[in-house]
Amino acid sequence: MSVFIGITQRVDRDDCYGERRDGIDQRWFDFLALCGVVPVPLPNHLRTVQLLLERIDIDGFILSGGGDLVAYGGDAPKRDEVERFLIALALRRQVPLLGVCRGMQAIQDYFGVGLHPVQGHIATTHMMNSRDGVNAVNSYHKYGTTGNVPELIVTARAEDGVVEAIRHKSCRVAGIMWHPERQLPYAEQDQYMIRQFFAK
């Protein structure tokens, strides 16, 4: 049986047409299909998301990457609003929510973890230390942190100490700072992680 997961979208600006567009990398659909997950794109409009979730059964959420939070120079306040709502909903209903890159930063921001500029994490590959050992992961973020709060458990760090993965101490809320959809071929360990995290 397939698992249906709501996934948030980045905001892209098209100055030629004077439009702000919601969008998502098509590789997400290829990657999640391998994991037995059906992604349901969610718009960056809170009331529409609320109405959708009243009508359709969603088994969990992914907060996708792309762009920065408004608190750190981003220009998508409606996306911030939707993602804060989804985090609160996941915590309240005890459904799984995974934040990817910017999505993990949204979780950290929700719990009051401050971020700061980091060096050597933009469009590169670096080593990460986790309970599964040392792994190489892609990296596309200019903000990060070495700090944490009691509600969140750090499950991986880069060699420079920057937090690369977290999970909530009691709820099925977690975050990773790498992009599994950009790793070609798709990593087996990432596929396993998605299957396990969203397993019913």
Whether 42 shows a pLDDT value over 90: the answer reads: yes
| Predicted confidence band of residue 131 (pLDDT cuts 50, 70, 90) | confident
**pTM of this structure:** 0.95
What pLDDT does 1 receive? Answer: 67
Give the other-Cβ count within 10 Å of 173's Cβ: 26
Whether 186 shows a pLDDT value over 70: the answer reads: yes
Instruction: Provide the CA 182 distance to its chain's centre, in angstroms.
Output: 13
Whether 134 shows a pLDDT value over 80: the answer reads: no
Surface-to-core class of residue 54, CB atoms within 10 Å of its CB (0-12 exposed, 13-18 middle, 19+ buried):
exposed
Rounded Cα gap, residues 95 and 23, in angstroms? 24
AA letter at 25: D
Domain coordinates in residue numbering, the chain: 3-197
- Region 135-140 average pLDDT: 82
Instruction: Provide the CA 15 distance to its chain's centre, in angstroms.
Output: 27
Whether 185 shows a pLDDT value over 80: the answer reads: yes
Residues 91, 130 contacting (CB under 8 angstroms) = no
Helix ranges restricted to H, the chain: 27-34, 46-55, 77-93, 102-110, 188-197
Q: Which CATH architecture has domain 3-197?
A: 3-Layer(aba) Sandwich (3.40)
